[in-house]
Structure 1
Amino acid sequence: MIPSGTEISSSLYGAWRLIFVDDEAMAHFNVSIEGFWRSFFAAILALPYFLVVIIWPAPVAEGVTPWEPDPFMAGLAYILSWIIFPMVAAVLARLFELTQNYIGYITAFNWAGALIAQPLLILEVMTHAGVLSADAAAVLQLPIFVFV
C-alpha cells in the first residue's frame, strides 16, 4: 500500500503542475484503484506540518488570541479529514453523476495536500526560529491558501 518513490515524486509533480492549471498534470497521477488507495500515503507526508502546528503552535500576531489545540481532538480531526472528505465527495460524485472523475479527483486532492503542507511546514519552522514574524508568516501563507 506504500507507493514507490517514483509514484510519490510523479504525483507530487502532478500536484505542482495542477497549481499552474497544466492540462497534462493528471497524467502524473496513478488514477487506478490501487493509485487511489496509495494516494492516502500523502497523509504521512503532510503529517510533519500537522504535528508541528499541534505540538508547537507558532507565535501569533499581536492582538490575536492564540489557538491552543487539544492534541487528541486535533489528531482525531486530522485522521477523520482524510476519511470523511473522500466519503462526502463520493456521495456528491454520485449525486451529480461525476463518478468517472472521482478516483482521479481524490488522488490529485490527496497528493496536493501533501505538497501544500511542505511550504507551510517551512514557514511554521521559520516563525518558531524567529526568522519570520507571525505577521510575515501570515502574509506568506495567504497565497498558498488562495492559489493552491
Structure 2
Amino acid sequence: MSAGGGDLLRGIRGGLGLARFDRRALELLRIDVGGFWHSFMALLLAVPGYLLLYSLPVPGEGLTPPSPDEEAAADVIATMAAGTDHFGLLGDVLVDLLAWASFPLVLLILARRTGVDRGFVPYVVARNWLSMVQVYVMVAVIATAGVLPAPLAGLLTTLALAALIGMEWFMTRLTLGLNSGAVTLIVLMAILWPILLARLL
C-alpha cells in the first residue's frame, strides 16, 4: 500500500476514534510534515458529504407555515450546516471547504496569543480527519431528522450539535493541551469562522 493510502486509512480510523472521544485515536494519525499535508485529503473525501448535506431538505420546510418547533429545528440545522443561501449548492460547499482549509492559517496568525504554536501540526491533522467524519455525521442526522416529527427533529439536531461541539473541544484539548478557557475560545473561533467568511465573500 502506498504511503498516501496508508495515511488515508489511518486518518479515517483516527477521525472515527476522535469522534468517539478516544484519546488513543491520536496514535493512529501520522503527526509529521508529510502527515500534515496528507491530512488535507480529508477535504476531498468530505465533498460528497457536503453535497448531500446541502441537498437534503430542511425538516419543517413545506407549504404550510412552520410551527415554533419546526422553526427551532430549522434554526439548529442551519447552525450545524453554517450554509449561505445566496451562494447556491456548489458555492456553499466551496465556502465551507475554504473556511475549513483557511482556519488553521487564522490560528497560526494568532499562534502566540492562542498558544497553538507547539501543537499546531497535531491539531491540524486531527481536526482535518475529525471534520471529515463530522460532515457525514451531520448528513446522517439531518436525513434522520427529516423523517421525524418536528419536536423530535429539533431534539435530535440539538443533541447532535452539542456532540459535534464536544468532539471539537475534546480534539482541541487533546492536541494542544491548553486550559479549558483557551480551548473553548478556539472552538468558538472554529464555529464562527465559516459564518464570518461567508459574510465577507
Equivalent position amino acid for 1:77 in 2: V
2:104 matched to which residue of 1?
A: 86
Matched, 1:10 2:16: no
How far has the Cα of 1:96 moved from its partner?
Answer: 4.5
- Number of residue pairs the alignment of both structures matches: 144
2:93 and 2:20 map into 1 onto residues whose CA distance is: 32
How far has the Cα of 1:44 moved from its partner?
Answer: 2.2
* Structure 2 residue matching 1:111: 3-state secondary structure: helix
For structure 1, the 5+ residue unaligned runs are none
2:26 and 2:20 map into 1 onto residues whose CA distance is: 12
Q: Which moved more, 1:88-97 or 1:67-76?
A: 67-76
Equivalent position amino acid for 2:103 in 1: F
Structure having the larger proportion of residues in helix = 2
TM-score (norm 2): 0.59
1:66-107 CA-partner distances (Å, limit 9, x unpaired): 667231542342132122201111122244453221011011
Matched, 1:34 2:34: yes
How far has the Cα of 1:51 moved from its partner?
Answer: 1.3
2:120 and 2:129 map into 1 onto residues whose CA distance is: 14
TM-score (norm 1): 0.75
1:1-148 equivalences under 5 Å are: 3-4=4-5, 6-60=6-60, 62-63=66-67, 64=71, 69-70=85-86, 71=88, 73-128=91-146, 130=147, 132-146=148-162, 147-148=166-167
Distance 1:16 1:50, change over 3 A: same
Q: Percent identity?
A: 23
Distance 1:53 1:24, change over 3 A: closer
1:102-131 CA-partner distances (Å, limit 9, x unpaired): 011011011111111222212233344x3x
Equivalent position amino acid for 2:44 in 1: I
Check conservation: 1:48, 1:121, Cα contact below 8 A. no
How far has the Cα of 1:29 moved from its partner?
Answer: 0.9
CA RMSD between the two structures: 2.9
2:56 and 2:135 map into 1 onto residues whose CA distance is: 16
